[in-house]
Amino acid sequence: MGNLRPNAPRNVTGEIDEDGSISLNWDAVKEAQSYVIHYGGANQSEPTQAVNMGYSETTNWNLVVDNVPALALGDKLYLYLQTYHQKGLGANDVEKARYLHDGDFVGSAWSDPVILTNPS
């Protein structure tokens, strides 16, 4: 394992739930210990704009409605995933994601974007 780059998550799917929260699911990556989710604000399609982060040690992730960026009818939200061979450290999921992202760890390339369109 060492400094070998892990594979990016594949078959990532997502949806905006009825309550406005966001749910993502993906296939497990061999030897993955954690996943970091990257996203920006409404209609920010460039990966460099995906400055918000989430964290998961499973093959799914939920963003509670209070943390979802403001989305008007038809707005799009772009989300990307990254795999790590390590687990994050911190008091919450954002701290765990930052620990990996900002640390000396080798994460995977980012997944293809999951593009969610606000239906309401």
Give a yes or no: residue 82 inside a domain: yes
Task: Identify whether 4 is part of a domain.
Answer: no
Q: Phi and psi at residue 49, in whole multiples of 5°?
A: -85, -10
pLDDT (average), residues 32-50: 97
Average pLDDT rounded to a whole number, residues 24-32 = 97
With 70 as the cut, is the pLDDT of residue 1 above it? no
Is 5 part of any domain?
no
In a domain, 84, yes or no: yes
Residue 31 maps to a domain: yes
Q: Provide the domain count of the chain.
A: 1
Does residue 8 form part of some domain?
no
Alpha helices in the chain (DSSP H): 93-102
User: Are the C-beta atoms of 34 and 50 separated by less than 8 Å?
Assistant: no
pTM recorded for the entire structure: 0.94
Domain that holds residue 57: 13-117
Handedness of CA 52, 57, 61, 66 (dihedral sign): negative
Q: How does residue 83 score in pLDDT terms, banded at 50, 70 and 90?
A: very high
Please write the tens of the pLDDT for every residue from 58-80: 999 999 999 999 999 999 999 99
- CATH number of the CATH domain containing 71: 2.60.40.10
The predicted pLDDT at position 120 comes to 78
Confidence category of residue 3, pLDDT binned at 50, 70, 90: low
Whether residue 4 has pLDDT greater than 90: no
In a domain, 2, yes or no: no
pLDDT at site 115: 98
Is there a domain that residue 1 lies in? no
Q: What is the pLDDT of residue 92?
A: 96
Mean pLDDT calculated for residue range 9-18: 96
